[in-house]
A and B are shown apart, each in its own frame.
Chain A
Amino acid sequence: MLTAWLYVGIFLVVAVLLPAVAIALAGILAPKKSNPIKTSVYECGIEVVGPARVQIKAQYYIYAMVFLVFDVEMVLLFPWAVAFKQLPLFAVFEGILFLLILLGGLFYAWRKGALEWF
């Protein structure tokens, strides 16, 4: 098992190195003629107005919160799904109850208007 994760670690290093080396190589080959107008931020040709990190809709945060709840519960379901074949009927119904509560949560969020995009 440890060697499996060793392979993943090696793969991570290779996967990061390949694009990084390519980008560095291209950086050596590429011309370097910079000037202030070239490096100015693009905003349809006009001069930049205000900071770039503007405020975004509050809706994004609500979606993120709903996502967080669901994702955590999904991760909880993975061990249940792996052990499914050995589970007795009772444990299966417990899992189903959990899912139904999850579905109830989705409909609650829906009814409360958390899933609307204004």
Chain B
Amino acid sequence: MTNWLEDPIRWIAEWLYSVLVGWGILPSVADVILMITGAAILSTLALLWVLFLIWFERKLIGRIQDRFGPNRVGPWGIFQSVADMIKIFTKEYITPQGADKVLYNLAPVLAVASVLLIWAVLPFTRSIMGVNLNVGVVYIVAVGGGGVLAILMAGYASNNKYAFLGASRAVAQLISYEVPMVISLLVPVLLAGSMGLNDIVQAQSVPYLVMAPVAALVFFITSMAETGRAPFDLVEAESELVAGYNTEYSGLKFGMFFVGEFLHSFTAALLFAVLFLGGWRGPFVDQVPLLGLVYLFIKTMVIYFLIILVRASVPRFRIDQMMDLNWKVLTPLSILSFLVTAVIAKVLEGQFLFQVLGLLAGNVILLVLFMEWGERRNKRNRRPMVSQPRPLATPASDETSMAQS
């Protein structure tokens, strides 16, 4: 029996288990009941958390754009998204003519489920986590593929040209950005020697942000693109495609796409915190495991804040720019960073301090060289100006001579 002051959630779980077994329920059945309870609580909390995230983001973007943001419902408008949710619950579902009914209704469910499934393997503290899958990282990538499928289903089933174009763009973008994301995920796996997320956290006596900054940068950019948010929101570029893949959705079905998107960007921040910032690690976490939750939360919110900041300050990419960024910058950069990490980690194996410093130096040198190469390539490939430079307006010569004299 664990001490409840140290780890209350685990204590409650053990107490519940003993109560269930005491009722004469088979231990295996009691296990399953505990799992169902845990999964239901975790995913409900995740979905409710989105209400706060929506308010937080609207408020923050309001402030960045010199507005107030929501400020009417409750203190600082904090219940704004609750009011919105109640409203959206009473809105009619409008199914467009000629829609593929099955795919049309399945898509919003899958959009949320694919994000929620990632939460099954996230380590919140040393002991509070769904499950430490030994293929955790691959699982995350695989489940993330469900989101792409949901967008494609939504766009295809809507029987709408804007939705279809949005969906095909989405698929091109999301699958392209998956390549550098997976390669940058390989770096922490290589350094930790395991794919389980809790093992990766436990291996980070030095956060991997220090040991693999290039991979962290690539992961940050690509996970932002995977969530389909600005500046990568070509999927629902409202100036070109009305609303992209969810043009024909209304009511809570639209709301589910919205929830899925917000939850996805928060989950991306969580994943970054787990993989590169040391997750629940921090001072005194061995004595009080619950502190890990606080550390993870702070790290996640910092990253989430950064994601919102990028969203608020960077204009949307054009699609060819976005593809170029992925295939001509991020993919070679991530492959090279993986190479550098593998070589340095093997050569300096055994001396931990030298390994950390060597990896940091190698990454910085790689980044500098790569940017220099990109700069040269840009100079070489710069398009010639189509129009001649306009002749500058020059004052009449007699006036200039008068002014000079």
Chain A residues close to B by CB (< 8 Å): 1, 3-8, 10-12, 14-16, 18-20, 22-23, 25-27, 29-34, 36, 38-44, 52-54, 56, 59-60, 63-64, 66-67, 70-71, 74-75, 77-78, 81-85, 87, 89, 92, 95-96, 99-100, 102-103, 106, 110, 115-117
When the two chains form their complex, are residues B160 and A41 in contact, meaning their CB atoms are under 8 A apart?
A: yes
Query: Given A7-B35, A56-B165 in contact, is the A33-B92 Cβ separation under 8 Å?
Result: yes
Residue of B nearest to A30 (CB): B92
When the two chains form their complex, are residues B252 and A23 in contact, meaning their CB atoms are under 8 A apart?
A: yes
Cα-based distance from A18 to B255 in the complex (angstroms) = 13
Cα-based distance from A102 to B342 in the complex (angstroms) = 15
Query: Given A42-B162, A106-B332 in contact, is the A92-B342 Cβ separation under 8 Å?
Result: yes
Determine which of A10, A67, A103, A106 lies in contact with B35 in the assembled complex, contact meaning CB atoms within 8 Å.
Answer: A10
Given contacts A7-B131, A42-B160, A99-B335, 20 further A-B pairs with CB under 8 A are A4-B131, A14-B40, A20-B109, A23-B256, A26-B252, A27-B251, A42-B242, A42-B248, A63-B175, A71-B178, A78-B137, A78-B186, A78-B189, A87-B346, A89-B346, A92-B343, A96-B342, A99-B338, A103-B332, A115-B328
CB distance from A3 to the nearest CB of B (A): 7
B32 CB–A CB distance under 8 Å: yes
Cα-based distance from A100 to B336 in the complex (angstroms) = 9
Of the A-B pairs whose beta carbons lie under 8 Å apart in the complex, a sample of 9, sorted by A's number, is A5-B133, A11-B120, A14-B39, A23-B256, A30-B92, A40-B96, A42-B160, A71-B178, A99-B339
Determine which of A10, A71, A95 lies in contact with B36 in the assembled complex, contact meaning CB atoms within 8 Å.
Answer: A10
Cα-based distance from A92 to B163 in the complex (angstroms) = 46
Interface of B (DSSP majority class) = helix
Query: Given A4-B132, A56-B165 in contact, is the A82-B194 Cβ separation under 8 Å?
Result: yes
Residue of B nearest to A66 (CB): B327
When the two chains form their complex, are residues A74 and B179 in contact, meaning their CB atoms are under 8 A apart?
A: yes
Binds A, one of B300-308, B318-326, B362-370, B395-403: B318-326
CB distance from B271 to the nearest CB of A (A): 17
When the two chains form their complex, are residues A41 and B248 in contact, meaning their CB atoms are under 8 A apart?
A: yes
When the two chains form their complex, are residues B112 and A18 in contact, meaning their CB atoms are under 8 A apart?
A: yes
> Residues of B contacting A67 with CB < 8 Å?
175-176, 178-179
> Residues of A contacting B116 with CB < 8 Å?
11, 14-15, 18
> Residues of A contacting B165 with CB < 8 Å?
54, 56
Cα-based distance from A117 to B317 in the complex (angstroms) = 13
Cα-based distance from A95 to B108 in the complex (angstroms) = 40
When the two chains form their complex, are residues B36 and A14 in contact, meaning their CB atoms are under 8 A apart?
A: yes
Determine which of B97, B137, B160, B251 lies in contact with A26 in the assembled complex, contact meaning CB atoms within 8 Å.
Answer: B251
CB distance from B187 to the nearest CB of A (A): 8
Cα-based distance from A42 to B323 in the complex (angstroms) = 29
4 nearest A-B residue pairs (beta carbon):
A117-B320, A15-B116, A26-B252, A81-B190
Cα-based distance from A11 to B163 in the complex (angstroms) = 30
Chain B residues close to A by CB (< 8 Å): 31-32, 35-36, 38-40, 42-44, 47, 88-98, 105, 108-110, 112-113, 116-117, 119-121, 130-134, 137-139, 156, 158-165, 168, 171-172, 175-176, 178-179, 182-183, 186, 189-190, 193-195, 242, 247-248, 251-253, 256, 259, 319-320, 323-324, 327-328, 331-332, 335-336, 338-339, 342-343, 345-346, 349
When the two chains form their complex, are residues A52 and B160 in contact, meaning their CB atoms are under 8 A apart?
A: yes
Residue of A nearest to B174 (CB): A67
Residue of B nearest to A18 (CB): B43
Query: Given A53-B164, A82-B189 in contact, is the A23-B109 Cβ separation under 8 Å?
Result: yes
When the two chains form their complex, are residues A18 and B44 in contact, meaning their CB atoms are under 8 A apart?
A: yes
When the two chains form their complex, are residues B93 and A27 in contact, meaning their CB atoms are under 8 A apart?
A: yes
> Residues of A contacting B193 with CB < 8 Å?
82-85
| Most B-side CB within 10 Å, residue of A1, A30, A87 | A30
When the two chains form their complex, are residues B94 and A34 in contact, meaning their CB atoms are under 8 A apart?
A: yes
Determine which of A29, A43, A77, A116 lies in contact with B90 in the assembled complex, contact meaning CB atoms within 8 Å.
Answer: A29
Cα-based distance from A1 to B324 in the complex (angstroms) = 42
> Residues of A contacting B109 with CB < 8 Å?
16, 19-20, 23
Cα-based distance from A63 to B324 in the complex (angstroms) = 11
Residue of B nearest to A34 (CB): B94
> Residues of B contacting A16 with CB < 8 Å?
109-110, 113
When the two chains form their complex, are residues B342 and A78 in contact, meaning their CB atoms are under 8 A apart?
A: no
Query: Given A11-B120, A25-B89, A85-B193 in contact, is the A117-B335 Cβ separation under 8 Å?
Result: no
> Residues of A contacting B113 with CB < 8 Å?
12, 15-16, 19
> Residues of A contacting B172 with CB < 8 Å?
59-60, 63-64
Cα-based distance from A39 to B259 in the complex (angstroms) = 24
Determine which of B159, B189, B339 lies in contact with A41 in the assembled complex, contact meaning CB atoms within 8 Å.
Answer: B159
When the two chains form their complex, are residues A22 and B39 in contact, meaning their CB atoms are under 8 A apart?
A: no
Cα-based distance from A75 to B137 in the complex (angstroms) = 11
Cα-based distance from A12 to B133 in the complex (angstroms) = 15
